[in-house]
Structure 1
Amino acid sequence: MSSSPAPSPPPRPSLGRSAATGLFGGLLLGGLGLLAVGLGNRFMAVDCEGLTGPECKLLEDATREVGRAQALGGGALTALAASLFVLFRPRLPPEGPEDV
């Protein structure tokens, strides 16, 4: 019987890292959703049924500008979430020089 050292237990998951991953996932999904809605508002046709010409033009302009702001905000949230996820991801331990 050889007395080999007991294997080290696997590292415990960090509650803070798990919470941060959930937060980054929420930011990413929210940003993608806001980006999709913004692009839809920006490029989809507006229903002007029952409106006069100037009212329809005002509605189109307002919808297009709100869509632009939504798309910019959604893109920014998506980029922020992706960068924070990369920043806080678990790092692999550095490898030492290999013996040849």
Structure 2
Amino acid sequence: MPMSSLPSSRGATLLRAASLGLVAGLLLGGLALLALGVRGVFLPRDCAGLSLPECQFEQETARDLGRVQTLSGGALIALGSALFALTRPRAPPEP
């Protein structure tokens, strides 16, 4: 009967490794989106060679897109953190 416990142990290890990869991807993607969003919100755009209406349009677009990216990045970080909390190894209960 030791052979029957091998696939479930291997499956659990594979599932844990896959979830760790998913958590890492969510966290890294969330951090990248968060950084891009903060840059878009707080750093002004370069308006060299643009007229005043074009420059205002570029700045408003960058600010609005930065807000969406910041919110999306934060949501991905929260989702990755929650997934990590759900799949982390737990200590066996004490008898």
- Distance apart, 1:45 and its partner CA: 1.1
Residues 17-72 of structure 1 deviation map (CA, whole Å, 9 limit, x = unaligned): 11111111111011011101110011001100111111100100000000000000
Unaligned runs of 5+ in 2: 1-8
The separation in 2 between residues aligned to 1:45 and 1:55, in whole angstroms, is 14
The separation in 2 between residues aligned to 1:43 and 1:73, in whole angstroms, is 17
Which one has the largest radius of gyration? 1
The separation in 2 between residues aligned to 1:62 and 1:45, in whole angstroms, is 11
Q: Does 2:86 align with 1:87?
A: yes
SS in 1 for 2:89: coil
Identity among equivalent positions (%) equals 52
The separation in 2 between residues aligned to 1:18 and 1:49, in whole angstroms, is 48
The answer to which structure has the higher helix fraction is 2
RMSD, aligned CA: 1.3
TM-score by length of 2: 0.85
Aligned length: 86
The separation in 2 between residues aligned to 1:58 and 1:43, in whole angstroms, is 16
Runs of 4+ in 1 over 2 A off after TM superposition: none
Unaligned runs of 5+ in 1: 1-10
- Equivalent positions of 1:6-85 (< 5 A) are 14-85=13-84
